[in-house]
Structure 1
Amino acid sequence: MKTVRIIGVPEHFNLPWHLAIEEGAFLERGIDLQWTDIPEGTGRMSRLLSDEETDLAIILTEGIVKSISEGNNSKIVQEYIGSPLLWGIHVAANSDFKTIDDLKTAKAAISRFGSGSHLMAYVNAEKEGWDLRELDFEIINSLKGAVEGLTDQQADYFIWEQFTTKPLVDNGTFRRLGNCPTPWPCFMIVATNLFLKRNATVLQHILEVINTYTQEFKNIPSIDRTLANRYEQKLPDIQEWLSLTQWSQRQLPLETLEKVQKILLALELLEKKLAPERILLT
């Protein structure tokens, strides 16, 4: 039996992995796939990959490209979610901010530097035409930390996947002022170079299992109700999310990687563009 460590955010995107684990699909291939939730998100997962404290991660595209450019010895194995992520821009429900433009000089709550919440603050600022040098950040570690940070006015706004935060909008904790979709597929399957060197056949088995599950995922009877119950979401919200989300079984196209690096360079979040073979498993 081969033990493989994998990490990801505790969100509805990753249910196919949990179903495959629970149903013994990896065990049938001689693989003990051990999943760990990382609520702190991409910045924390990048560090765990870099420190080889995990073998695989389901991680945001922009975050892992930036991390690899900074020396993280990992590679993108393939796309996991091929559709964009819809990031909601949130403020505390009782805050004085009414529009996104009101946030121009406000302080953004981020899970950590290099996280999606950090990088998307730049993407949103560029979209709005703000001075990127004026961006200000407060590290809050997780969604729970964001609730505390915005409520206590340690920070002013928080950018996070809008369906995950929808219950907090519904219960009056947050107000959503708008959204900012990623201009690329959002989640990648990533492996450390050490794991790739030693476990090429194991990785192939893992991909065959998860790609089968993601191809069939939307056809599972009552999967919308399962998701709503498991992740404490309203059924109409989950149904909308399912309609917008596409799982992928292919490698990230070269032209898409070029776009990601070009935008991150323009935002001064990358020092230099890397060759595709430094980032993608070929």
Structure 2
Amino acid sequence: MKKVSIGGVPEHFNLAWYLTLKNGEYKSKDINLRWYDYFGGTGAMCKALRNGDIDMAVILTEGIVKDIIEGNPSKIVQTFVSSPLIWGIHVAADSKYEVVEDLPGQKAAISRYGSGSHLMAYINAKNNGWDLNQDLNFEVVQNLDGAIRALTEQRADYFMWERFTTKPIVDDGIFRHIGNCPTPWPCFVIAVRNEFIKNNKKELETILDIINNTTNDFKNIPSIDRTISNRYEQDIQDVREWLSLTEWSQEIIDRPTLQMVQNELFDLKIINKTADYESLTYTI
């Protein structure tokens, strides 16, 4: 049986992986797929791909594009979620900051440099006309728990994280939600190490076939809203809203979209060069 390791954030976007693993669908095809939660998000997964700790990752588009350009030996093989990620902008519940316009020059909590929370702080700053050199400051907090501590202890002033994942923390009176910042592109892709692609094309194709069969019909799974609500401790009305806004994909990211991602990152000086489509993607 071929052992394959995959990483992703432990969030509702990735429930389809849990369901297919629970059903033994990979083992029935002689593949021992092992899922690893990465609470540190994109930056942690980029490091794991580089080190060979995992073979595959379900990862934020902008983060893996940046890291492949900077030498990560991986390729994007498919878009996983085609809708934007809605990043909530949060402050501590007792913070003096009331609106996003209060935040220029204040300190953003980020999981790590090069992470989604880091890159999206730039997108948010650009959207609001901030000075990208003067108005952005960062405090590295590793993960969501670290952000809670940093904002509560006033070591950071605001934190951007997926809106619905963070909603229970808002409901508990720890964070206050003051705005949103959607990604301008499909939010999650599947990235695979080049070495794995080269040596395991058949297994990779089988894995994608299995997950795509599930995501293609994900919203029609009986009581899927209740399953998500119970597993991720989210209000069922929030889950239903999230389901209405979220679309999965079974296709590779297209050239214009990938170029748009790169152009945006280049304009923000997050990357210092762009790459051709073939060096960033692999078509199964």
Deviations, residues 133-158 of structure 1 (Å, cap 9, x unaligned): 12110000000000000000010000
- 2:50 — aligned with what? 50
Q: 1:126 maps to what in 2?
A: 126
Offset at residue 178 of structure 1 (A): 0.4
CA displacement 1:60-92 (0-9 Å, x = unmatched) = 000000000100010001000000000000000
Distance in 1, Cα, partners of 2:150 & 2:108 = 10
What secondary structure does 2:217 align onto? helix
| Structure 1 equivalent of residue 5 of structure 2 | 5
Where in structure 2 are the equivalents of 1:39-118 lying within 5 Å? 39-118=39-118
Q: d(CA) in 2 for partners of 1:99 and 1:235?
A: 27
Q: Describe the superposition over 1:223-253 as per-residue Cα deviations: whole angstroms up to 9, x where unpaired.
A: 0000000000000000000000001000001
Query: Which amino acid letter does the alignment assign opposite residue 226 of structure 2?
Result: R
Cα RMSD over matched residues? 0.5
* Partner Cα separation in structure 2 for residue 142 and residue 49 of structure 1: 19
Letter in 1 for 2:5: R
- The separation in 2 between residues aligned to 1:278 and 1:105, in whole angstroms, is 37
Matched, 1:196 2:187: no
> Which blocks of at least 5 consecutive residues in structure 1 are unaligned?
none
Q: What is the total number of aligned residue pairs between the two structures?
A: 282
Aligned to 2:28: 28
Q: What is the CA–CA distance in structure 2 between the aligned matches of 1:82 and 1:120, rounded to whole Å?
A: 17
CA distance in 2, matches of 1:46, 1:136: 23
In the TM superposition, residue 216 of structure 1 has moved relative to its aligned partner by 1.4
Deviations 1:173-212 (A, max 9, x none): 0001100000000000110001001000000000000000
Tell me by how many angstroms 1:52 deviates.
1.2
Structure 2: how far apart are the matches of 1:278 and 1:123?
24
Q: How does 1:242-253 map to 2 (within 5 A)?
A: 242-253=243-254
1:41-75 deviation per Cα after TM superposition (whole angstroms, max 9, x unaligned)? 00110011111111000000000000001000100
Counterpart AA for 1:82: S
Distance in structure 2 (CA, Å) of the matches to 1:254 and 1:30: 34
Tell me, in whole angstroms, the C-alpha distance in 2 between the residues paired with 1:13 and 1:32: 22
SS at match of 1:108: strand
1:243 corresponds to which letter in structure 2? S
Q: TM-score, normalised to structure 2's length? A: 0.99
| Mapped partners of 2:220, 2:193: distance in 1 | 32
The whole-number CA distance in structure 2 between the counterparts of 1:240 and 1:99 is 23
| SS of 1:132 mapped into structure 2 | coil
Q: 1:255 is matched with which residue?
A: 256
- Structure 1 stretches (4+) deviating beyond 6 angstroms? none
TM-score after normalising by structure 1: 0.99
User: Aligned pair 1:144/2:167, yes or no?
Assistant: no
Partners of 1:197 and 1:132 in 2: how far apart?
40
Match of 2:180 in 1: 179
CA distance in 1, matches of 2:230, 2:255: 38
Amino acid at match of 1:119: L
In structure 2, what is the Cα distance between the partners aligned to 1:17 and 1:231? 14
1:180 is paired with a residue whose SS is: strand
Return the offset for 1:169.
0.6
Structure 2 stretches of 5 or more lacking a match?
none
- Report the Cα distance in structure 2 between the residues aligned to 1:67 and 1:219, rounded to whole angstroms: 35
Q: CA deviation at 1:26?
A: 0.5
